[in-house]
Amino acid sequence: MKKNIIALTALLFSFTLYSQYYDPLINPYWYFYSDNHLDAVSSGKGRTGIGEVGDISSTALNPAAFEIEKKYQLSFQYTYKTKQPWLTSLGLNDIYLKQNALSGAAAIGYKINKHINVGILYSNPLSFDLDLGVIIMTNEFGQEIGRYEAIDGYNTHNFSVPVVYKYKNFRFGIAFNYTLHRRFFDFHNDKMVIKFDRFNADAGILFEIVNGLNLGIKFRPEVKGKAKYYSDLNPQMDEQTDVILPMQIGTGISYTIPQNKLSFAADYKFINGSQLKGQLDQHWFNFGIQYPLNKYWTVRGGFFNTPDPRDLNTNYGNSVESFSQLFLTAGASVKSDIAVFTLAVMDSHISSATLKYTFINCGLSLNF
């Protein structure tokens, strides 16, 4: 009984944070888990890629980076992430953040000429379910009156058209995005949804400074708007809330040793999180290494951090548990004449933080 009351309180706590303390879409109590980190090649080498050429799946890191070996390219990505216990400080062991639906991406690219590449990409970059299990409801006499599942979740669906222009050692790219944000609360016979749909664009440059040494920059502007609430029990609901998707800027550098093709990469990303309620600016650091064993096999490794975005001076809730994590990554690719299959693992169990979980990424790229 006590656990059920706490679980229901946790759902209400999560919902209350949206309107009073945190942005309704980017909430630090689950945002750390929602990122699906699509692109298996990047995941294997510490989520680096701003300063490196890749396939069309790399456009999320830098729109200028994507290249097509032949005329056409197909790319498929999938991410699996392990469950993350939630609110363990309250003595709960049966409430989890977990993966919901399909966490993946599919894309097609076309080389118009030697200077221009274009593509179309669908991805599910952010998603999660907060599974509160079965809530047992009782009356004032302690008699059971019903059992209901409670789910608190989030999904994004991104449709992107990247365009890359190449001239000598310089590349410029822009990705035109239309993103559907769906934040939902499902309990008993009511489902409440927060919807926020917006056009936005990412821009990036990538150029070779000297032979083997590349520098890239990626920029995503701030997006503001109104998100609307919908409820099954109240179809006439006409409530809105302000939403901010903060500005992001990143830079990356990579170097490939010409003699053996061993490459190193380092990225830095800044997120202007202080524009959000109760949050701080974020600084992400990524490092990766890659080595081709032969013409078929390539291996990778790396690490990256995920900073705790909460401002603990103004934060509401448990400020004892740290949300900062350090991920170690490893991956490998095998290549044929037209296909490249990639597998990567990212794990944060080395962290001293309370949060510890694992991502497994796989990708398939076809060039023909």
Q: What is the 3-state secondary structure (H, E, C) of the chain?
A: CHHHHHHHHHHHHHHHHHHHCCCCCCCCCCHHHHECCCCHHHHHCCCCCCCCCECHHHHHCCCCCECCCCCEEEEEEEEEECCEECCHHHCCCCCEEECCCCCEEEEEEEECCCCEEEEEEEECCEEEEEEEEEEEEECCCCCEEEEEEEEEEEEEEEEEEEEEEEECCEEEEEEEEEEEEEEEEEECCEEEEEEEEEEEEEEEEEEEEECCEEEEEEEECCEEEEEEEEECCCCCCCCEEEEEECCEEEEEEEEECCCCCCEEEEEEEEECHHHCCCECCEEEEEEEEEEECCCCEEEEEEEEEECCCECCCCCCCCCCCCCCEEEEEEEEEEECCCEEEEEEEEECCCCCCCCCCEEEEEEEEEEC
pLDDT at site 320: 56
Domains of the chain, each with CATH number or no CATH:
2-367 (2.40.160.60)
pLDDT at site 318: 52
pLDDT at site 40: 96
pLDDT at site 175: 97
pLDDT at site 13: 46
pLDDT by position in tens, the chain (length 368): 444 444 444 554 455 444 455 566 767 777 778 899 999 999 999 999 999 999 999 999 999 999 999 999 999 999 999 988 876 666 666 788 888 877 999 999 999 999 999 999 999 999 988 887 777 777 777 777 777 777 888 899 999 999 999 999 999 999 999 999 998 887 776 778 889 999 999 999 999 999 999 999 999 999 999 888 888 777 777 788 888 889 999 999 999 999 999 999 999 999 998 888 788 899 999 999 999 999 999 999 999 999 988 887 765 545 556 778 899 999 999 999 999 999 999 999 887 667 788 999 999 999 99
Look up the pTM and report it: 0.88
